[in-house]
Structure 1
Amino acid sequence: MSHHDLRLGLLIRLSQLGIAFTVAVILMGAFTRLMDAGLGCPDWPGCYGQWVVPEPGVAESHPSAVPLEPLKAWLEMVHRYLASMLGGLVLMMLALGWSRRKRPGYPWHITLCLLAVILLQGAFGAFTVTLRLWPQVVTLHLLGGLVVMLLFLWLHLRLRVTAVSANPANRALPKLSHWWAIAALLLAAQLALGGWTSSNYAGIACQGFPTCNGQWWPTMDWSEGFHLTQRVGPDYLYGQLHADARTTIHLAHRLGALALGLSLTLLAARHWREPRLRPWMGAMLAAYGLQVGLGIANVVWWLPLGLALAHTAGAVLLALTMALAAWQAKVGALPVGLPKAQAQEQGAGECAITS
């Protein structure tokens, strides 16, 4: 095996590690938020001016004058440490891929995009603290984490194609149907609504299911619930919206789940007769069903910590399964992981991709 093949194999493993690591960072961020530890360190990038959580005496002398809560401070700092390590992983992949950047089919542009989103995520992390949990920033921070995860996944899949294809840039990929675009847009909107619900502390604004506070259409305030320039005051911990506005956000999230479910069902029905795609359609619908079940359980049992964290994990799983299903629909069943000679015998070029 040549030096270049060894390096490509390492890049494939690092991209796989990046997917798992990003999921861990997302869940750690969700846990930090659910523990109300988003302002556990009132400054950035350090904590009370230190690179580790300081002793209470040091914290008391910090200009923020915010009392130190060690557990919350450590949760916040561990999240930052993990995010920094993820950035280091991206830089490592850039360095390893530099010599291959001009090779046909090598996904260099995805790696650069990954770096750009990671840097943007760092900015969102800083603004989350400096803007005192402004829900717009918190929601974008969550969405940014999911984008990083999907970019790592797409990079990993593209690298695997490069590893087995004799000529990975000899043919363009077919376009997906508009049903995929609709489902992707609805998923993105639903993920944004989930982040908006969480960042505005509206998770149990609707009590009961399927009704909301005993009504099918309760009193709501759409203008306040989706007022994107609202003031946050000293901070946004525990939220500031009145009950009708939070009810609006929660109900919008439920309606978004209904629209997404309809879209995914239609998409699955369109591809169900294709044996290659049927398992992926089934996995996508199963992930959606699990996520709906977790959402209902959170409402019925008043948002317990474990279930709330599982609901975030469910969103991650749904995004991953839909991305993998789209990959299968777009690229096909390429025999990944085979030696190049064997891949050539199986017509690896048929599933080639372009940059």
Structure 2
Amino acid sequence: MDSNSFSYESSPAKLNMAIRLSSLGIVFTFIVILVGVWTRLVDAGLGCPDWPGCYGALVVPNAERASDFAPHIPLDPFKAWVEMVHRYLASSLGLLAIVLVVLAWKNRHLRNYPVGVSVLLLLVICLQGAFGALTVTLKLWPQVVTLHLLGGFTVLAIFFWLRCRLGVCQRQPVTRSSLPRIWWLAIALLTLQVALGGWTSSNYAGIACTGFPTCNNEWWPSYMDFNEGFHITQEVGPNYLYGQLHAGARTAIHYTHRIGALAVGIALLMLWHYGHTKQPSIRGITQLMLGIYALQITLGIVLVLFSLPLSVALMHTAGAAVLMLCLLRTGWRLSIAQVSYSPATYRKVSHA
């Protein structure tokens, strides 16, 4: 069997491996996001004062070695291990992306293979690594922490889109449809809401509003400082652990996050109506999204009333990620109206 024949015969196996790895990547990224949020919630973001190691070591050292490396930063073994576990998992995700790029190169001769998406995934994960380093070196600067969270959701979205593209590789799309404006509005508002959630968390504004549906016993709090709350050129240098903003700024951030949740709900209702009246193929998934949204609102209320229980905060983040995946799946169904399921025919690499 010559090399050309081998490439031809092995392509289906390589394609199936890429499909399985992209599916694994979705699940693994979901876990990495939650571990990152857990790291944040237990105040372990600075559990290791350096990067990529921890007190100059690849694993958490003992107190004596840590003291020699950073005498003024006492070692907290629990927080250090939480931070390092997050780094180990994120590094493993990068290795997975490298394997997918290698497979993309080997499968580049296949029709519709998403080589560009595979490369983009690796680049975004590398950028995420840079944000991880800046999170530590800039001492939890809220801008970087928020971008790091958005980066995690971006990696999740790219893994999902890669899996969708691989699923139709070697199949010829019969009809393509442009995405409706309401879908773009919904995805934009959800992305903004995720960013607001990260900004709320990184500025420790989760319980700046007490009570629900009012905020500090007011429908429109009289003491809100939007200028300071959304002053994105905050000074770089202070330790932002536990936040630096005053109460009025944190209240403004929290209240804006509540308004954002309302805007997302309206957009999802509009998308559901669009599916119900014009696109029956997305009726089921839009109904599921409304159910997840209702659960998200419930979890948000519980977070406020019970002062940010850790388990509920993790579920709230998980719900946002699932909502994002459902919205992406809706977009995929709307973008490809029909796919031919004729047997795949693999093309040999041209050596002209």
User: Given the two structures, how large is their TM-score scaled by the length of structure 1?
Assistant: 0.91
Q: Which of the residues 184, 208, 212 maps onto 1:209? A: 212
Q: Which runs of 5+ in 1 are unaligned?
A: 336-342, 349-355
Aligned to 1:182: 185
Instruction: Give the alignment's Cα RMSD to 1 decimal.
Output: 1.8
In the alignment, the residues of structure 2 paired with residue 172 and residue 250 of structure 1 have an alpha-carbon distance, to the nearest angstrom, of 44
In the alignment, the residues of structure 2 paired with residue 16 and residue 64 of structure 1 have an alpha-carbon distance, to the nearest angstrom, of 44
Q: Is 1:244 aligned to 2:219, yes or no?
A: no
Measure how far apart 1:3 and its partner are.
Answer: 1.2
Q: Is the 8 A contact 2:128 2:151 kept in 1?
A: yes
Superimposed CA distance per residue, residues 216-253 of structure 1 (whole angstroms, 9 cap, x where no aligned partner): 11110000000001125431000010000000000000
Measure how far apart 1:96 and its partner are.
Answer: 1.4
Q: Is 1:332 aligned to 2:329, yes or no?
A: no
Q: Which moved more, 1:34-43 or 1:172-181?
A: 172-181
Q: Is the 8 A contact 1:42 1:64 kept in 2?
A: no
Structure 2 vs 1, CA of residues 214 and 75 (structure 1 numbering), >3 Å: closer, same or farther? same
Aligned to 2:264: 260
Amino acid at match of 1:215: E
Q: Is the 8 A contact 2:15 2:107 kept in 1?
A: no
Aligned to 1:29: 36
Measure how far apart 1:140 and its partner are.
Answer: 0.3
Q: Is the 8 A contact 1:190 1:257 kept in 2?
A: yes
Aligned to 1:55: 62
Aligned to 2:3: none
Measure how far apart 1:183 and its partner are.
Answer: 1.1
Aligned to 1:224: 228
Measure how far apart 1:145 and its partner are.
Answer: 0.3
| Equivalences, count | 336
Q: Which of the residues 322, 330, 340 maps onto 2:327? A: 322
Aligned to 2:131: 124
Q: Is the 8 A contact 1:36 1:237 kept in 2?
A: yes
In the alignment, the residues of structure 2 paired with residue 67 and residue 256 of structure 1 have an alpha-carbon distance, to the nearest angstrom, of 39
In the alignment, the residues of structure 2 paired with residue 2 and residue 199 of structure 1 have an alpha-carbon distance, to the nearest angstrom, of 51
Measure how far apart 1:86 and its partner are.
Answer: 0.2
Q: Which moved more, 1:324-333 or 1:77-86?
A: 324-333
Measure how far apart 1:334 and its partner are.
Answer: 4.5
In the alignment, the residues of structure 1 paired with residue 32 and residue 228 of structure 2 have an alpha-carbon distance, to the nearest angstrom, of 31
Superimposed CA distance per residue, residues 276-311 of structure 1 (whole angstroms, 9 cap, x where no aligned partner): 211011111111111111111101111111111111
Superimposed CA distance per residue, residues 52-76 of structure 1 (whole angstroms, 9 cap, x where no aligned partner): 0000000000146210000000000
Aligned to 1:43: 50
Aligned to 1:107: 114
Superimposed CA distance per residue, residues 157-212 of structure 1 (whole angstroms, 9 cap, x where no aligned partner): 1101115x1x46xx673211111111111111111001100110000000000000
In the alignment, the residues of structure 2 paired with residue 266 and residue 23 of structure 1 have an alpha-carbon distance, to the nearest angstrom, of 27
Amino acid at match of 1:284: M
Q: Is the 8 A contact 1:232 1:240 kept in 2?
A: no
Q: Which runs of 5+ in 2 are unaligned?
A: 1-7, 346-352
SS, match of residue 69 in structure 2: coil
In the alignment, the residues of structure 1 paired with residue 115 and residue 38 of structure 2 have an alpha-carbon distance, to the nearest angstrom, of 33
Amino acid at match of 1:253: H
In the alignment, the residues of structure 1 paired with residue 202 and residue 270 of structure 2 have an alpha-carbon distance, to the nearest angstrom, of 31
In the alignment, the residues of structure 2 paired with residue 146 and residue 297 of structure 1 have an alpha-carbon distance, to the nearest angstrom, of 24
Q: Is 1:301 aligned to 2:298, yes or no?
A: no
Superimposed CA distance per residue, residues 77-134 of structure 1 (whole angstroms, 9 cap, x where no aligned partner): 0000000000000001111121222433111110111011001000000000000000
Amino acid at match of 2:97: V
Amino acid at match of 1:307: V
Structure 2 vs 1, CA of residues 215 and 232 (structure 1 numbering), >3 Å: closer, same or farther? farther
Aligned to 1:269: 273
Amino acid at match of 1:329: L
Amino acid at match of 2:270: L
In the alignment, the residues of structure 1 paired with residue 338 and residue 25 of structure 2 have an alpha-carbon distance, to the nearest angstrom, of 23
Aligned to 1:310: 315
In the alignment, the residues of structure 2 paired with residue 13 and residue 235 of structure 1 have an alpha-carbon distance, to the nearest angstrom, of 42
Q: Is the 8 A contact 1:284 1:325 kept in 2?
A: no
User: Given the two structures, how large is their TM-score scaled by the length of structure 2?
Assistant: 0.92
Q: Which moved more, 1:266-275 or 1:295-304?
A: 266-275
